[in-house]
Amino acid sequence: MRLREGPGKALISHYMTSKEELRESIRDRLRAVPAEEIAWRSYLICDFIQQQREWQEAKIVGLFASLPTEPVVEFLWDDIRKSGKKVCYPKVNGENLSLLVVNDPTELVKSRWQLREPVMREPNLQSLEKIDLLLVPGLAFSGKGERLGRGGGFYDRLLSREVVRAFKLGVCFDAQAFPELPLESHDVAVDAVITESGVLSHAASHV
């Protein structure tokens, strides 16, 4: 994975100790961003993702269905179709996330939590140990790969499972990048973080 430099690499200067204060501050910041700007910044993020070795070599990738204020990773589907990658999306399954194979994002349906998810079908369940690359959303990330989620713990439980061997790539906007984050013992870091400016951090073992 190639490290990028750019003006957008500058991290947010202020730091909050409370997770909930930080979450609310970031939500307010993202709600103020126009939809067209989110789309443009998302396009840049997806362009950087496609340039990374981990993406190019992956045969099975895990995406996420973005919320209105999250990066839109569906811009990756043109490359997915050309390269023949197998794609899976997360679905809330009790207290955990299951990943199911999806052939097109139009297969996703709104759940009772207003999330876009695949329909639970046993044949479409993807074995976690076979996934090569997981794109991971979050409300905030740090340059060390630390991640602050939305509070449900679903991705922390998924990423902490021993069978998950995928390269974990955090995806966010520059405005969600912090020097450090208020974390707890159950919070799971990612291997790298990518924003519209490029790669924010990278695990030493993958340089």
What's the pLDDT tens digit per position in 70-120? 999 999 999 999 999 999 999 999 999 999 999 999 999 998 777 899 999
Tell me how many degrees the CA angle 162-62-110 measures, rounded to the nearest 5.
115
Q: What are the start-end ranges of the H helices in the chain?
A: 19-31, 35-51, 53-57, 77-83, 154-159
pLDDT in tens, 141-200: 998 899 998 878 899 999 999 999 999 999 999 999 988 887 776 778 999 999 999 998
| 5-64 confidence digits (pLDDT tens) | 333 333 333 444 577 888 888 999 899 999 999 999 999 999 999 999 999 999 999 999
Give the count of beta carbons closer than 10 Å to the beta carbon of residue 30: 18
pLDDT of residue 136: 97
How far is residue 142's CA from residue 148's CA, in Å, rounded to a whole number? Answer: 9
Q: What are the helix (H) ranges across 58-112?
A: 77-83
Rounded Cα distance between 84 and 54, Å, is 15
Which residues have a Cβ under 8 Å from the Cβ of 151 and sit 6 or more positions away?
19, 20, 23
> Where does the pLDDT of residue 207 fall: very low under 50, low under 70, confident under 90, or very high at 90 and above?
very low
Separation of alpha carbons 158 and 90, rounded Å: 10
* Phi and psi angles of residue 128, each rounded to the nearest 5 degrees, phi first: -60, -35
Domains of the chain are 15-206 (3.40.50.10420)
